[in-house]
């Protein structure tokens, strides 16, 4: 009896995160907009280019617009704008159910990760832009 109760408790703890995963969903345009921000600054963020981002300091927060050209590894992609290309790291959860192709224009927000001889964007938000 104790073994059954222990197994049920373990199963309940392990299966909880599976049900919490979000992979997109239905957006009703007629529904009232839900206000999710609880505070902080909400203003227009400056969009920077790949060339400008290369001259910014490590850990700078940036917004960039362009296209994702190709996937080069599990979470790494090549991003391009009118000034050049940059490697970007996009975790699976950041896609939020969006399907994006190399033809789609996107806006990426994230933190610059500068090493001795390279610059990479650690993407925190991906937004598909209208053409």
- At 94, which CATH number? 2.40.50.200
Q: What is the pLDDT confidence band of residue 116, given thresholds at 50, 70 and 90?
A: confident
Within 8 A by CB and 6+ apart from 76, the residues are 87, 88, 89
What is the count of structural domains for the chain? 1
Whether residue 62 lies inside any domain: the answer is yes
Residue 14's alpha-carbon distances to 4, 46, 92, in angstroms, are: 15, 42, 21
Taking 50 as the threshold, does the pLDDT of residue 108 lie above it? Answer: yes
Domain range enclosing 67 = 50-128
> What mean pLDDT is reported for the chain?
81
Whether residue 21 lies inside any domain: the answer is no
Whether residue 13 lies inside any domain: the answer is no
Q: Looking at residues 75-92, what average pLDDT do you find?
A: 95
Distance, in Å, from the CA atom of 127 to the CA atom of 108, rounded to the nearest integer, reads 6
Whether residue 26 lies inside any domain: the answer is no
Q: What angle do CA 39, 105, 36 make, to 5 degrees?
A: 20
Distance, in Å, from the CA atom of 64 to the CA atom of 2, rounded to the nearest integer, reads 56
The token pair that represents 108 in the structure block? 């990426």
| Percent of the chain's residues with pLDDT above 90 | 60
Taking 50 as the threshold, does the pLDDT of residue 38 lie above it? Answer: yes
Whether residue 110 lies inside any domain: the answer is yes
């Amino acid at each position: 009896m104790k073994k059954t109760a222990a197994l049920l408790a373990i199963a309940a703890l392990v299966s909880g995160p599976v049900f919490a995963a979000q992979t997109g969903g239905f957006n009703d345009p007629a529904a009232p907009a839900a206000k999710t921000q609880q505070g902080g600054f909400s203003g227009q963020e400056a969009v920077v280019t790949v060339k400008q981002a290369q001259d910014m300091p490590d850990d700078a927060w940036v917004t960039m617009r362009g296209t994702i050209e190709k996937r080069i590894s599990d979470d790494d992609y090549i991003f391009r704008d009118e000034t050049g290309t940059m490697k970007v790291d996009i975790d699976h959860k950041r896609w939020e159910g969006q399907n994006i192709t190399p033809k789609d224009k996107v806006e990426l927000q994230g933190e610059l990760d500068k090493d001795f001889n390279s610059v990479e964007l650690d993407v925190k938000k991906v937004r598909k832009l209208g053409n």
